[in-house]
Chains A and B, each alone.
Chain A
Amino acid sequence: MADDDTRTMIRLDRVSKSYPGQAEPAIADLTLEVRAGEIVVLLGPSGCGKTTTMRMINRLIEPTGGRVYFDGEDVTAVNADHLRRRIGYVIQQIGLLPHLTVGANIAMVPRALGWDKKRTTARVTELLDLLGLDPRTYRKRYPKQLSGGEQQRVGVARALAADPPVMLMDEPFGALDPIIRDRLQDEFLALQKKIQKTIVFVTHDIEEAVKLGDRIAIFGTGGRIAQFDTPAKLLTEPADDFVASFIGSGGAVRLLGLSQVADLPIEDVRTVASADASSGPDGALTLLVDDGGAPVRWLRGASGVAGRPAVVRPSQSLYEALDAMLAAHDDLAVVVDDDGAVRGGLRWAAVLHGTGTEAGSRT
């Protein structure tokens, strides 16, 4: 397993791309390593070369210099069509073929690889299930009969059809409305936990990059990588002014989204099952719980008064924990487990001290 973590899946070695008639190369001497199973986000303003870099991995754009390695193999000169069948490809415009059904769209690469019908059909069913689309309903539909979110799910399913080890995703959620985008990002992370692909993800949205990336490569001007680091490192220690300005203000707040409640210490909270038994010893925090152990209200809270508690789960981010505390006007949030039973209390101060230091150690 440890061996797998350090295996390099994609390596760009001093790759460059210049176009005839342009003095400045679009990409200059770019070196990038992507490890197996991680999500690397290429982030930057438009025109910075992030998409060009991604498209040189599957050679939709041929590099004019340098070498591209795929799982240790030099693929700079192999048959590009065959190479691309080993790499999933998802784009913002989705690109589902409108004259083919969802099933036929997903089956394109298996067909090109010469799979037999039975195997292809089984794979399509499996993928539709995986992406949360009922195969009986969706297999025979045409793309225009789907919503934008459903179409992009099919787009991801199509990219996964031949089970490629690597996926390239070019702003796949960029054209969706914010609510759908957020949901698809969550689903995408859950999916990635299951399938463990090596993913190169292009975006210009810092929030998306921080949320999805295991590591982020920020592109500066002239097709160079300004910084390549974990999201926490990027937010706390920007390498230069360009990176700092691109991240902009609010970096500290974004860090909150990177750590979970479970990363921080929680303190004991006294719980009682009935309001009559209220008077605890020496004014300790006292929380009224119902029969299932779920919090009902403070009998004596941290702010000294009774009221509805802020409730968070260990899997929630510190951002959500602070949000809950602000909403409840309380500097202590009640942490509950997945069944809703009280596990303890999380202090505002603990969040303040915990941010940033633990941020690197998520997963």
Chain B
Amino acid sequence: MTAATVRTTAPARDGRLRGWAGTVVTPLLLLAVVAGLYAYLHAQNLDDIERRSLDRDVILRLLLQHVELVAVSSVVVIAVAVPLGVLLTRPGLRVAATPILAVANLGQAVPSIGVLVLLAVTVGTGFRMATLALVLVALLSVLRNTMVGLTGVDRALIDAARGMGLTRTTVLFRVELPLAVPVMLAGVRVALILNVGNAALATYTNAGGLGTLIQAGIALNRLPVLLTGSILTAVLALAVDWFAGVVERVVRPRGL
């Protein structure tokens, strides 16, 4: 197929090409930022403290911890919020939707640092507690989007499917969930970004992560350390967002 025929086939395909171009540009930009940071650090005359904090192994370990916090909490969020959202949109349980959403709203309204500290005081510190705090803060976006996505499915589609004799379960899996996927994925994306940002606070409860660098940079008054921690956190957030975008594009049902 030549370029000319591609252009004439459909505007949809044109848009898709532009979309894929975006998915190539973002990682290149992020790589450039990381390379710039690397060059900046090399140009500096690092003292002992800085050198110890910015050791390659240390950074990798913190990065890994950060990713682990985000990954585990996000998986738990999805595993809890999606089934809960499905349940709360079933006819019998719809009455429970409003109070539960109110509680979830509360979880999001409380600042994440507050949730962290509160849990640290009441439950304890460490990786598990930090994960729990991240889950509580990010749960709402996935729960709400799951419910909005499911209730937003055109009633006529469900009516037609039920009228054909499909069972409630079949309608859920073949009609409602596939059609709610775009909205649900948007919620997951928000949760992921929230988790990357909030995981940077986990260092205050002894759970590691890139926040450790930021905290050290502030406490020891070392700008290179602070910069490295914050830039890497930002790059990680954007990378996760990019990854979620790619997944969204692949998973989104065709024909929508």
Contacts and interface: CB of A to CB of B under 8 A. Distances in A.
Interface in B120-167: 154, 156-157, 159-167
Contacts of A70: none
B163 A89 contact: yes
B170 interface: yes
Nearest to B156: A93
A91 interface: yes
Interface string A75-103: 00000011111110101011111111100
A101 B175 CA distance: 13
A109 interface: yes
Given A142-B254, A143-B255, A95 B159 contact: yes
Nearest to A101: B255
A99 B176 CA distance: 11
Given A60-B159, A97-B157, A142 B255 contact: yes
A: interface residue count bin: 20 to 34
A204 to B, nearest CB: 18
A112 B164 contact: yes
A99 B156 contact: no
B163 A99 contact: no
Tell which of B154, B161, B164, B254 has the most Cβ of chain A within 10 Å: B164
B166 A99 contact: no
B164 A99 contact: no
A20 B241 CA distance: 49
A153 B90 CA distance: 32
Contact of B165 (A85, A96, A144): A85
Contact of A84 (B164, B178, B255): B164
B164 A98 contact: no
Nearest to A95: B160
A84 B165 contact: yes
Contact of B166 (A98, A112, A142): A112
B156 A91 contact: yes
Contact of B164 (A93, A108, A144): A108
A60 B255 contact: no
B162 A60 contact: yes
Given A142-B255, A155-B160, 20 more contacts: A58-B163, A60-B162, A60-B163, A81-B165, A81-B166, A84-B164, A84-B165, A85-B164, A91-B156, A91-B163, A95-B154, A95-B159, A97-B157, A99-B253, A99-B255, A101-B255, A108-B166, A112-B164, A112-B165, A143-B255
Interface of A: 58, 60, 81-87, 89, 91, 93-101, 108-109, 112, 142-144, 155, 158-159, 168
